[in-house]
Structure 1
Amino acid sequence: MQLCADDPMTNVFVAARVQEGGLGFGTTLLGVEEAHRLKSMCWVSANVVPVACDDDALDLFAARLKRQRRRVSSVFGDAEQVLGLWDRLQRHWGEPRSLRPDQPMMAVRTSPAADGLALDPRVRRARLDEVDLVLPASAAMFTEEIGYPPYVGSDRDYRGLVGSLIRAGHTFVIVEDGRVLFKADIGSLAGGVAQIQGVWVAPDARGQGIAAPAMGAVVQQVMDQVAPVVTLYVNGYNEPALRAYRRAGFVQVGRFATVIL
């Protein structure tokens, strides 16, 4: 946690997983020590996430990871570290489904309301009895973003994930006429940072100016009730999303990269 705290916005995913006690079956946390102090880490589960890695640490982690391709669905995090790790792993793991080397990491650290930004009053936390409404929106967002659906056959496990986010108060929605028009989740929460993921607007509601005030309302509620800093990362080629996030008060503070396998 101390190592993650050196850069809490970049490292919130790993910090949140450690804080939640996520070192369970199928998860490994690799570390490099120097002078009896943890210098670098690499979270290894379905996702591989490097933390505070220099070239020497990336060499060591790649040597351990090169035979674990079948377990991993993505590598993501700070762009320099992820791309450096991928350079070392690609010849062992083969071509990815998608390589996204430029994902602006953005943050809000001042209140959107105080800055006079538009906030959509319809945004609220999802209720647990709305899982059946939220689940198709979550699945649609995942499929659009990743390129394949989050489940095949039974939706039980995915429904459990959606329900756990709602139960924690981490899913924000606009619901009208019995359907979700907008959705966003707190995906990771640690060290005073809340990282937003799963942002989605219903296809027939896009292009109508919903996203920016809805995101502004999410940020305001998160800052008021959950964490003082709100972050997210977005594909650099997604200009509509970038414009909406900027209008909601987000500014770029770093660069992420994602390798989807």
Structure 2
Amino acid sequence: MPTVTRHGVRPLGSADLDAFLALAGQDPVVNVFALYRARTTSLEPRWLGGEVWGRFDNGELVAACHVGANLVPIQASADDARAFAERALTRSRSVSTIVGPHEAVESFWNHVAESWGKPRELRWQQPHLVIDEPPHVEADHRVRRTTRQDMAALYPACVAMYTEEVGVSPEAGGGADLYRARVTQLTSRGWSFARFDEGRVVFKAEVACATEDAAQVQGVWVPADRRGEGLAVAGMAAVVDFVQHEIAPTVSLYVNEWNAPARRVYEAVGFRESARFSTVMF
């Protein structure tokens, strides 16, 4: 077993899976990403593509941190986040994003900021929204699951959404094959939804991760020339219907605080705020 550091932190492995699931299960909606990753990898580093660190107190797992392309604190207080930051400072930065509950992300970032360099963007106080009841508006019945046959129209829409949201194309630096594989994977799982008008995507969204308790939605997008028509409201209602009936009873997402149009969409559908997230992007 790896040595526990003076901060009570060590990498977790498959032997820690039950303890980790119990910890993350204290908030199965906020922690849906962590639970999904743990269940699909059994915390094996070769499947994680990184590590999950645990912090222990008297032998009990009290907090964790997913460290892959995304660094995600799990049930971590500000003090736990500082302990994870101390461990992170013993190695060079490998993560492209720090994301999770605001207090933990802020504490972690304040501790590593000097060493990890200037981020591309800081997004503080992102509302984390949930809906666990039927949508409050009528669904757009033209929204459907996508198929591989839709890729010619769907993939460019996904690239456009990502570029608009993140500020850089997912194809930059030779990433096209990897991103196309991710879009194809979500479609194959039945986690990609869209409405097509004359072969063009006019609304889309995906499920990023899911457990039996919750599913997290990402990539909600309407092309600029079709905004203001109500496509997003009715489209999101359709996605919520699909997810609640076929994937998980609670649907979650997080949104930029400054994105007033998106926040109005989610409010109209029936989402309510349950927490605040923050994201640091490199």
Same structural fold, with TM-score higher than 0.5 when normalized by the shorter chain: yes
- 2:237 partner letter: G
Match of residue 166 from structure 2 = 146
Cα shift readout 1:113-138 (whole Å, capped 9, x = no counterpart): xx4x1211111100122122211111
Cα shift readout 1:60-102 (whole Å, capped 9, x = no counterpart): 2111112545411100010111111111110111221110011
Worse-matched range after superposition: 53-62 or 89-98: 53-62
Match of residue 11 from structure 1 = 31
What is the RMSD computed on CA atoms of the aligned residues? 1.4
**Aligned: 1:102 with 2:112:** no
Q: CA deviation at 1:207?
A: 1.4
Classify 1:191/1:224 alpha carbon distance in 2 versus 1 (closer, same or farther; 3 Å). Answer: closer
* In structure 2, C-alpha distance between the alignment counterparts of 1:252 and 1:221, rounded to whole Å: 21
Q: CA deviation at 1:151?
A: 1.6
Q: Secondary structure at the match of 1:20?
A: helix
Classify 1:23/1:101 alpha carbon distance in 2 versus 1 (closer, same or farther; 3 Å). Answer: farther
Q: CA deviation at 1:19?
A: 1.2
* In structure 2, C-alpha distance between the alignment counterparts of 1:67 and 1:204, rounded to whole Å: 48
Aligned length: 258
- 1:237 partner letter: W
* In structure 2, C-alpha distance between the alignment counterparts of 1:258 and 1:144, rounded to whole Å: 16
* In structure 2, C-alpha distance between the alignment counterparts of 1:69 and 1:228, rounded to whole Å: 40
Output the TM-score relative to the length of structure 2: 0.88
- 2:24 partner letter: C
Match of residue 212 from structure 1 = 233
Which of 125, 141, 144 is equivalent to 1:124?
144
Choose between structure 1 and 2 for higher RCO, CA contacts under 8 A separated by at least 6 residues: 1
On the 8 A contact 2:78/2:103 being kept in 1, the answer is: no
Cα shift readout 1:147-178 (whole Å, capped 9, x = no counterpart): 10112346221111100000000000001111
Output the TM-score relative to the length of structure 1: 0.95
On the 8 A contact 1:67/1:92 being kept in 2, the answer is: no
On the 8 A contact 2:207/2:217 being kept in 1, the answer is: yes
Match of residue 86 from structure 2 = 63
Q: CA deviation at 1:221?
A: 1.1
Segments of 4+ in structure 1 off by > 4 A?
none
Which of 182, 186, 210 is equivalent to 1:161?
182
* In structure 1, C-alpha distance between the alignment counterparts of 2:128 and 2:92, rounded to whole Å: 26
- 1:52 partner letter: Q
On the 8 A contact 1:23/1:29 being kept in 2, the answer is: no
On the 8 A contact 2:81/2:105 being kept in 1, the answer is: no
- 1:250 partner letter: F
Match of residue 196 from structure 2 = 175
- 2:227 partner letter: R
On the 8 A contact 1:183/1:198 being kept in 2, the answer is: yes
Percent identical among aligned pairs is 38
Gaps of 5+ in 2: 1-20
Gaps of 5+ in 1: none
* In structure 2, C-alpha distance between the alignment counterparts of 1:148 and 1:69, rounded to whole Å: 23
Q: Secondary structure at the match of 1:148?
A: coil
Match of residue 243 from structure 2 = 222
On the 8 A contact 1:76/1:82 being kept in 2, the answer is: yes
